[in-house]
Structure 1
């Protein structure tokens, strides 16, 4: 059904505003040298130093033969998790623009425009998610060094997963920003969310796939296993591993489902709070 004359201008205004807000977020991110340096230095630090440094400890020796905990080197195992890390930091930190716009009055001016609250929020979330995906692509440039083969179908599949993860995490950042009134408070609180979320997502150590659920809780502390299984980021990292190195600890469809549901729920919460504010 084609839109009527009354509807067409409204739709064009919303789409034009959406594009403008998206472009503003992207341009602002690229002008932020600190964020760009962090997006480049973070994967180099994790892949080159942590990945290489811990690689010898990621294997055992059975009957004189060296074998890995999983059939990959630690550098390969951690590579998809570093992609998720770069997206996680960039997505959540990009939401600081909500505090910035609120502090300097830009948000108030946009809210009295013909744009709906949903359009305003979607433009900011899509802008932050786009920047986060680009930062995730910076990690993919190191794929050859990490001995991770990259084909176009694999790249496109990974890109789709990255986009879903970035949208959900940027929405989470907006939810945090809606409750924080200062830049300093946002930085402290976001790091208090980012680091536990990442380290309890089976990102830097695997849950041994050869063990049953009961055995896993004997090898690892039960509280840690419970947190890992309840952490939504666990399944996002697992989905990226499945796409990049063909290794999954869980059902591959679970990661896509959880990222999709998390994105919708977090955006709905952010929109509800955005409208109230």
Structure 2
């Protein structure tokens, strides 16, 4: 009796996610830096805001800066946070633009996981926001701040975590939307309050009791606090150690990415052509 040849099981190998994610990441970076007006605006707007607020209203907010500390120095981490915030959130407007142009639909029908979109888009926005924020650090010597290698690396890590979490938040907001106008309306509703209640303009200890509670539940507060503590270790009065701030930021980043991932993988979400 002739033996039946064994049939090897068919193993379906899903396409990898790294190359497609890298392609989306590269597309985000290249598209942003081709729009020079956006690059200039992202840097100059917070720079002007830092100078005007720090110089013009320094006396009014003197209490938040601490004894002997000029308000320009106190406000610098807040201006840095503003750059990261605006770049992270508004970069994700490209999700809506890609949907309306039909590009997102072509990616969705490709034989790759939807996690590719989340990873590529979020990493692209994170890279842009983190780079823009770190570029702003070149102005730090003007206020007498000089970094050690350790402090610079910790600041870079903090900026990356803030950028990653906010980019994931922007992705989660933009994913179900078809209109950039609706995106702007929702962002403007809480974008500025989110930043103002992060300890950027005044410290938690100088806020009223109920406002202080809101600031403590704002994850962005811990990013601003960590940057300020690393820049001025002898002047800052942190609510938590830098390690705790980074742990909270890391947890917030994971939660935001998980939400973005879950939204992108909902099969009921149907982007328009």
TM range (shorter): 0.7 to 0.9
Aligned counterparts of 2:109 and 2:187: Cα–Cα separation in 1: 29
Which position in structure 2 is the counterpart of 1:193? 190
Match of 1:115 among 112, 115, 137: 112
Q: CA deviation at 1:70?
A: 4.4
Alignment size in residue pairs: 254
- CA 1:16–1:57 in structure 2 vs 1: closer, same or farther (change >3 Å)? same
Which position in structure 2 is the counterpart of 1:3? none
Please, what TM-score do these two structures have when normalized by structure 1? 0.85
Match of 1:17 among 15, 20, 31: 20
Unaligned runs of 5+ in 1: 1-5, 61-66, 209-215
Aligned pairs (5 A) from 1:40-79:
40-59=43-62, 69-79=66-76
Please, what TM-score do these two structures have when normalized by structure 2? 0.86
Q: Secondary structure of the equivalent of 1:48?
A: helix
Q: Secondary structure of the equivalent of 1:148?
A: coil
Aligned counterparts of 1:240 and 1:98: Cα–Cα separation in 2: 30
Which position in structure 1 is the counterpart of 2:31? 28
Aligned counterparts of 1:160 and 1:42: Cα–Cα separation in 2: 24
Which position in structure 2 is the counterpart of 1:244? 231
Q: Secondary structure of the equivalent of 2:140?
A: coil
- CA 1:68–1:110 in structure 2 vs 1: closer, same or farther (change >3 Å)? closer
Aligned counterparts of 1:68 and 1:268: Cα–Cα separation in 2: 36
Unaligned runs of 5+ in 2: 1-10
Q: CA deviation at 1:201?
A: 1.3
Match of 2:168 among 166, 171, 183: 171
Q: Secondary structure of the equivalent of 1:205?
A: coil
1:39-61 deviation digits (Å, cap 9, x = unpaired): 1212321222211223334447x
Q: CA RMSD in A?
A: 2.1
Q: Secondary structure of the equivalent of 1:55?
A: coil
Which position in structure 1 is the counterpart of 2:3? none
1:112-164 deviation digits (Å, cap 9, x = unpaired): 22321112210110000000011102311111112222333222211111111
Structure 1 segments of 4 or more deviating over 4 A? none
Larger radius of gyration: 2
